[in-house]
């Protein structure tokens, strides 16, 4: 079993427009609403790959039934902590050129008892879990050290820990030494205090995190430029396979899911990168709300070009 933790679940509302004009009137075609959040998305991909995920985290009374129904229909077990409040809605606006603009709500502030309850559930399931994936933003009122504190406890249980977040929660989580860290380009450059960086420069920044803080792997997603992975000693750059891009939202979550799967199977670093890239590429080739095409993912693995980076 792989446990995924979602502290800030949401409803992703997808719409389309011919063009997006800032400060003007925009007309949209309504698409579909997809219940989720990063940990929920990870669980969906793991289910497609034959794993049995369990979702925990926070849910909110206004909208919780949407989340519960989505997980039930996907055959995914859940043990969420429900608190008073409204499930946030994230707007995903896609134009005719395939560019998606995201407008995400921050989420409501849960009470302290609910946060402690989530912590208790994570620790309860830890002995039964192959891995725990902690992903996504934290809602208002939850201390940014939340993920780091959880990782330290899980490390004592010998559980594989995967962290995918940004901002202060990322900075506070790194010293806890997760087994794998999965920032994207914007998150790692912001953390490093640089405005831009090449793949080689990012690999060196990531390698420094492994060496200084005992992080097992750092996998950095670069969007259309591929991804970089390092264990502090060796680094690889992977390029995307050629696919028709339909929707990019959630591609990073697909990558996290596949890489967690690979870690649980004992794959080496290059295989972890290859499987993650194949999952991310298969994800962007499908419409929003559809499940991952596992056969497409498998077929893409041989089309991922990987090269070594000199650290």
Q: What is the CATH number of the domain that holds 157?
A: 3.40.1190.20
Give yes or no for a contact between 161 and 147, defined as CB atoms under 8 angstroms apart. Answer: no
In this prediction, residue 105 has a pLDDT band, given cuts at 50, 70 and 90, of: confident
- Is 77 inside a domain boundary? yes
pLDDT at 46 over 90: yes
pLDDT at 295 over 80: yes
- Is 42 inside a domain boundary? yes
Whole-number pLDDT of residue 127: 93
Whole-number pLDDT of residue 10: 87
- Is 264 inside a domain boundary? yes
Q: 268 φ, ψ to 5°?
A: -80, 175
Whole-number pLDDT of residue 18: 81
**Residue 22 carries which DSSP code?**
T
**Residue 301 carries which DSSP code?**
G
In this prediction, residue 275 has a pLDDT band, given cuts at 50, 70 and 90, of: very high
Interatomic CA distance for residues 103 and 65, integer angstroms? 23
Whole-number pLDDT of residue 253: 94
Whole-number pLDDT of residue 242: 82
- Is 96 inside a domain boundary? yes
- Is 23 inside a domain boundary? no
Interatomic CA distance for residues 154 and 176, integer angstroms? 10
Q: What is the pLDDT of residues 173-206, one digit of tens each?
A: 999 999 999 999 999 999 999 998 999 999 999 9
- Is 116 inside a domain boundary? yes
3 state SS of 159: coil
- Is 22 inside a domain boundary? no
Measured on CA atoms in the order 44, 46, 52, 54, is the torsion positive or negative? negative
Whole-number pLDDT of residue 217: 98
Whole-number pLDDT of residue 129: 95
**Residue carrying structure tokens 């996504």:** 136
Structure tokens at 204: 């060196």
Long-range contacts of 22-29 (CB under 8 A, 24+ apart): 26/93, 28/93
Q: What is the pLDDT of residues 129-167, one digit of tens each?
A: 999 999 999 988 899 999 999 999 999 989 999 999 999
* Number of structural domains found in the chain: 1
Kindly give, in sequence order, each residue whose CB lies less than 8 Å from that of residue 48, ignoring residues fewer than 6 positions away.
291, 292, 294
Long-range contacts of 202-207 (CB under 8 A, 24+ apart): 202/228, 203/228, 203/230, 203/235, 203/237, 203/309, 203/311, 204/235, 204/311, 206/181, 206/230, 206/235, 207/231, 207/232, 207/233, 207/235, 207/311
Give yes or no for a contact between 114 and 90, defined as CB atoms under 8 angstroms apart. Answer: no
Radius of gyration of the chain (CA): 18
Q: What is the mean pLDDT of the chain?
A: 90
Q: 262 φ, ψ to 5°?
A: -65, -40
Whole-number pLDDT of residue 69: 87
- In our burial notation (b when 16+ CB lie closer than 10 A, e otherwise), range 81-93 reads bebebebbebebb
Give the whole-number percent of the chain exceeding pLDDT 70: 100
Interatomic CA distance for residues 93 and 241, integer angstroms? 25
Bigger pLDDT: 12 vs 80: 80
Instruction: Mean pLDDT check: name the lowest of 10-19, 163-172, 204-213.
Output: 10-19
Instruction: State the residue range of the domain holding 177.
Output: 2-17+28-309
Kindly give, in sequence order, each residue whose CB lies less than 8 Å from that of residue 137, ignoring residues fewer than 6 positions away.
7, 8, 106, 107, 165, 166, 167, 169
What pTM did the predictor assign?
A: 0.91
pLDDT at 96 over 80: no
């Amino acid at each position: 079993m792989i446990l995924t933790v979602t502290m800030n679940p949401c409803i992703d509302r997808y719409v389309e427009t011919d063009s997006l004009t800032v400060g003007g009137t925009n007309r949209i075609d309504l698409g579909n609403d997809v219940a989720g959040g990063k940990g929920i998305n990870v669980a969906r991909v793991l289910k497609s790959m034959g794993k049995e995920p369990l979702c925990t985290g926070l849910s909110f009374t206004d909208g919780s039934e949407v989340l519960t129904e989505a997980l039930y229909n996907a055959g995914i077990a859940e043990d969420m902590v429900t608190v008073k409040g409204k499930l946030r809605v994230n707007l995903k606006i896609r134009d005719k050129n395939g560019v998606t603009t995201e407008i995400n709500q921050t989420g409501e502030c849960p009470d302290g008892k609910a946060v402690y309850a989530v912590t208790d559930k994570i620790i309860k399931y830890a002995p039964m879990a192959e891995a725990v994936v902690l992903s996504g933003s934290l809602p208002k009122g939850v201390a940014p050290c939340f993920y780091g504190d959880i990782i330290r406890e899980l490390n004592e249980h010998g559980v594989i820990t995967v962290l995918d977040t940004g901002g202060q929660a990322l900075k506070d989580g790194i010293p806890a030494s997760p087994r794998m860290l999965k920032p994207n380009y914007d998150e790692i450059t912001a953390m490093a205090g640089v405005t831009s960086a090449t793949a080689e420069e990012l690999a060196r920044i990531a390698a420094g995190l492994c060496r200084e803080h005992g992080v097992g792997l750092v996998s950095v997603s670069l969007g259309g430029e591929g991804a970089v992975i390092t264990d502090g000693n060796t680094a690889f750059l992977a390029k995307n396979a050629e696919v028709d891009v339909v929707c990019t939202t959630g591609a990073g979550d697909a990558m996290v899911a596949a890489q967690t799967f690979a870690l649980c199977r004992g794959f080496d670093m290059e295989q972890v990168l290859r499987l993650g890239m194949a999952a991310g590429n298969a994800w962007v080739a499908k419409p929003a709300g559809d499940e991952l095409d596992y056969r497409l993912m498998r077929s893409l693995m041989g089309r991922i070009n990987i090269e070594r980076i000199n650290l």
